[in-house]
Amino acid sequence: MLFEKSKIKNLELKNRIIMAPMCQYMAIDGMPDNYHLVHYAARAIGGVGTIILEATAVEPRGRITGQDLGLWDDKFIEPLSGIVKECKRYGSAVGIQIAHAGRKSRIKNEPIVAPSPIAFNQDFPVPHELCSSEIVETVHKFAQAAQRAVKAGFDFIEIHAAHGYLLSEFLSPLTNKRTDEYGQNRALFLKQVLEKVKKTIPADYPVLLRVSGDEYHPEGNSREKLAELLKQVEELYDVLHISSGGIIHQEKYEVYPGYQVQFAEELKQLTGKLVIAVGRLENPLLAEQVLKEGKADFVAVGRGILSNPNWALHAALKLGVDIKWHGVYERAKGI
């Protein structure tokens, strides 16, 4: 199943392998350079069906670090477009993760923001609590970034609402202590972002949503609570990409192959949506098993594909699937 063709809306995918978005911390003032072109194109040559570019900020203070990609200005469209074209040349679908770091931003000389004035830990300043007008402005910035992604030629966007970043902070009872409408309904900010984004992109344009399936805290969102929040936006996104953690500083959990698959399986059942499982799925046999058992519709691989740009090609060999390697690479097949 790992190498079956599939679709998200009208977007055709040559297999069910997704390169998970992982920050490279190589941008300069938000701008990609040749590093990003080589990095992503190499994975396209290596057979990945779908590539999701790393977290890309909707405003300068929305970056995690000063080396994150940005999409807050039209000047980013052309260089990102070059990356998209090169990856598509080798048959990969390409999306971009649109994000805002919220209280976890490490940008200097910029006021970090959050739903409530609660610092991530002692090394971070207390964030500025966004007022209603600032929230509306941030919603608009997400929509503008989505529009730029379309212009750059991306096949889809992924809205980052996981890992304790801004959208995740609004969703979580651990970080959203507001008493206004955004506190009474913790999904409201996400809903407004998705509604505004949908108005700025083509009707058939796929929207993925990344969420944390477990916050590793007894007072955090459970899968059931998260699913209830997501009911408000179920018509506004197409695929759930399910990770975990990041909302609190000191988390206690065990990392092992497939450790987040259960979250994907449960949220797939609770929401009825297509889901992407992620989390130490670099063993092709495990990735295949996740799909065959119906626990997820796609698998995302992060570290495994960082380690080996040709992970997908080698996975096919291990599973006994004959796929074509690009150009002279075919001579190395099976070695």
In this prediction, residue 191 carries a pLDDT of 98
Residues 314-332 have pLDDT tens digits of: 999 999 999 999 999 999 9
Given a contact cutoff of 8 angstroms between Cβ atoms, the answer to whether 59 and 92 are in contact is no
pLDDT on residue 269: 98
Would you report the helix, strand and coil content of the chain in percent, each value rounded to 5?
40, 15, 45
pLDDT, tens digit (0-9, with 9 covering 90-100), for 275-286: 999 999 999 999
For residue 30, the cross-strand partners are none
Q: Is the pLDDT of residue 141 over 90?
A: yes
Q: Is residue 140 scored above 90 in pLDDT?
A: yes
Lowest mean pLDDT among 27-31, 109-113, 224-228, 231-235: 109-113
Question: Given this model, what pLDDT does residue 252 score?
Answer: 85
Question: For residue 15, what is the DSSP state?
Answer: S
Summarised one tens digit per residue, pLDDT across range 204-238 is 999 999 999 999 999 999 999 999 999 999 999 99
Residue 11 — very low, low, confident or very high, per pLDDT cuts 50/70/90?
very high
* Residue 67 to residues 5, 57, 58, 61, Cα–Cα distance (Å): 35, 11, 14, 12
pLDDT one-digit tens code per residue, 285-312: 999 999 999 999 999 999 999 999 999 9
Distance CA 85, CA 94 (A): 9
Give the mean model confidence (pLDDT) for residues 189-207.
98
State mean pLDDT over 240-251: 94
Sketch the domain layout of the chain as residue ranges.
Answer: 6-332
pLDDT at res. 334: 78
Residue 127: pLDDT band with limits 50, 70, 90: very high
What six digits make up the tokens of 13? Answer: 């995918």
Measured between alpha carbons, how far is 236 from 89 in angstroms, rounded to an integer?
30
What are the structure tokens assigned to 186, written together? 């913790």
- CA distances, 316 to each of 240, 266, 324, 325, 333 (Å): 25, 28, 10, 11, 10
31: its two tokens: 């701008």
User: Is the CATH code 3.20.20.70 the one for domain 6-332?
Assistant: yes
> Taking 90 as the threshold, does the pLDDT of residue 251 lie above it?
no
